[in-house]
Chains A and B, each alone.
Chain A
Amino acid sequence: MITVINYGAGNLPNVVRAFEHLGAAIEVTDDAAVVSTASAVVLPGVGATRDTMESLAQLGMTEVLPQVIASGRPFLGICVGMQVLCGESEEFGLHPCLDVLAGTVRRLPGGQKVPHIGWNQLHYQEQTRDHPLFAEIPNQSEFYFVHSYYCDVADPSLVAGTTDYGMAFPAW
């Protein structure tokens, strides 16, 4: 059973539909107690880190999520659901995030169109080729991006894949 967190994120129905399409068993919850005992957790997301952190805090998720991740259970953060893993974010003023991953959420470099919108290639890092998440996804596959911020991760060995847009940024 995969537990998908409902904290009001706009793309929740699309994440649910994607899992349904794959035939995966899921439950959707806004209950931190349910998340704390879940066997696998997905944190979807669209929008800004500040709003996301506020919504997660209201539901008591900011204490539970780091514990779930520290326990080694599978966790997938999508879009801003990944970004909030960082220590802090510069979006709409510097503010703390979940601090599971040392790093800062920063704005993409200027001199190009921002947001970065469209299909762009994912480049795997050498160390993550054998991760089960990428078993059926060939290197250089194209994914649809739509974002203005990225995770500036302190330890590059933790990054599974990068994408180029004015710089190579962590995309997985």
Chain B
Amino acid sequence: MLTRRIIPCLDVKAGRVVKGISFINHRDAGDPVALASAYNEAGADELVFYDITASSDERNIMVEVVERTARQVFIPLTVGGGLRTTDDMYRMLRAGADKVSINTAAVLNPQLITDGARRFGSQCIVLSIDARRMADSADDSPRWEVFTHTGGTPRSTGLEAISWAQRGVELGAGEIVINSMDSDGQQSGYDLELLRTMSRAVAVPLIASGGAGSPEDMYRGLAEGEADAVLAATIFHFGTYTIAQVKAYLAEQGVPVRQTV
């Protein structure tokens, strides 16, 4: 049976992990390679690196980070952030990434999804979407708007999130990450309504992001939100819960997970 995936996400700037990470004291907590290796040993099913650097010089550092990570870590690695062309994607894939994730660049240039899918296959192209509940949408039929540049000052796009995801899949995206801006950083659970609506609307796997504060939140994201995988940063980075604890909880609830430790 296909297991549900637990995916830690690391924000990397100029080759260093930026969000404070405290779950491993005995290692260099800013080194993405050491952290990737630690998460691999802890039972992560996949890893995501978000490159939040701005300049192209720093982008070269990211290529090198991906290369060093791929030599040591044999779980799938997705790299996102700042990829604007299929050549940008190719550099990351060649360095050892298994998938690439695009967000703002896809909104600005949807053709990038198709070009990437044609060149590398749909399974390689992850469409990441940041969405916020529309203030004027009804409680019983909520709608969500897509925002870009969420690393800095979020910009409104006027795009409705569900139809944007459906278009992205038509264009060739093989997976969707949906990040709720309303829930992100709150640690009070994923936006389950957003997840469920999205999961039923697209035929590709859905990864939940934004808001997980406990194993129960992750369970609800998978069971009630109908997500295929859950992505989280804070809960793991600060050692609030280990991946093994989350997996043990999920297994108790009857969710299939890959047991590694």
Contact = CB atoms under 8 A, between A and B. Distances in A.
B98 interface: yes
A164 B1 contact: yes
Contacts of B120: 10, 46-47
A85 B29 CA distance: 46
B235 interface: no
Contacts of A46: 120-121, 123-124
Interface string A93-111: 0000000000000000010
A36 interface: no
A144 B174 contact: no
B204 A118 contact: no
Contact of B123 (A17, A20, A146, A164): A146
B96 interface: yes
A19 to B, nearest CB: 12
B5 interface: yes
Interface stretch (B15-23, B71-79, B144-152, B181-189): B71-79
Main secondary structure of the interface of B (DSSP, over half): loop
* Number of chain A interface residues as a range: 20 to 34
Interface in A117-146: 117-121, 142, 144-146
B45 A118 contact: yes
B123 A118 contact: no
Contacts of B229: 118
A142 B71 CA distance: 21
B191 interface: no
B4 A17 contact: no
Interface in B86-107: 90, 93-96, 98-99
A113 B120 CA distance: 20
Given A46-B120, A117-B175, A118-B228, 5 more contacts: A10-B94, A114-B203, A114-B204, A120-B1, A142-B258
Interface of A: 10-11, 13-14, 17-18, 20-21, 46-48, 110, 113-121, 142, 144-148, 164-165
